[in-house]
């Protein structure tokens, strides 16, 4: 999705977005373009390193903006690269809720506690309770 390595995918974007499913053979490498404001990478199979630093599987690594980097597989690997344009307005993150409005997040918290969110189709048995302690984050 988006534009990477001189190619543009045919997927409709509503803001500048990148997403790539990367498969590397042992010893193969790929440069990570610096064009996106925000970028992250995750190893989902095998082993790989970013500029020589080994990456833990299923850990999302947030990449420094504007820095050219290289992914290299130490064994056959599959990785996810994602990112895109930074939001122009402030975003707040509270548990599973993300919004530009604290009021909307507060309403979502109350709606979750009161079970006003629709159940996931095919999964009406499990309900994840609201956590006692939640890490709150605002960007930027």
Question: What b/e string do you get for 43-78 counting C-beta neighbours within 10 Å, with b at 16 or more?
Answer: beebbbbbeeeebeeeeeeebeeeeebebbbeeebe
Residue 56 has pLDDT above 60, yes or no: yes
For residue range 61-116, list pLDDT tens digits in order. 988 888 888 999 999 999 998 888 777 788 888 888 888 888 998 999 999 989 89
pTM of structure: 0.65
Q: How far apart are CA 105 and CA 98, in angstroms?
A: 7
Phi/psi at 103 (5° precision): -65, -40
Lowest mean pLDDT among 21-25, 35-39, 68-72, 77-81: 35-39
Of the candidates 11, 20, 15, which has an alpha carbon nearest to the alpha carbon of residue 39?
20
Instruction: Report whether CATH 1.20.120.530 matches the domain 3-84.
Output: no
- Per-domain residue ranges for the chain? 3-84, 91-139
Return the pLDDT at 53. Answer: 93
């Amino acid at each position: 999705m988006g534009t990477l390595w001189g190619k543009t995918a045919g997927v409709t974007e509503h803001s500048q977005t990148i997403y790539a499913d990367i498969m590397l053979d042992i010893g193969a490498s790929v440069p990570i373009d610096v064009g996106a404001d925000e970028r992250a990478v995750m190893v989902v199979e095998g082993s790989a390193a970013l500029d020589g630093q080994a990456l833990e599987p299923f850990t999302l690594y947030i990449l420094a903006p504007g820095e050219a980097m290289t992914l290299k597989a130490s064994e056959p690997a599959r990785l996810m690269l994602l990112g895109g344009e930074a939001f122009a307005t402030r975003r707040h993150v509270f548990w599973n809720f993300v919004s530009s409005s604290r009021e909307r997040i507060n309403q979502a918290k109350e709606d979750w506690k009161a079970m006003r969110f629709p159940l996931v189709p095919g999964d009406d048995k499990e309900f994840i309770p609201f956590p006692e302690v939640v890490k709150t984050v605002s960007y930027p």
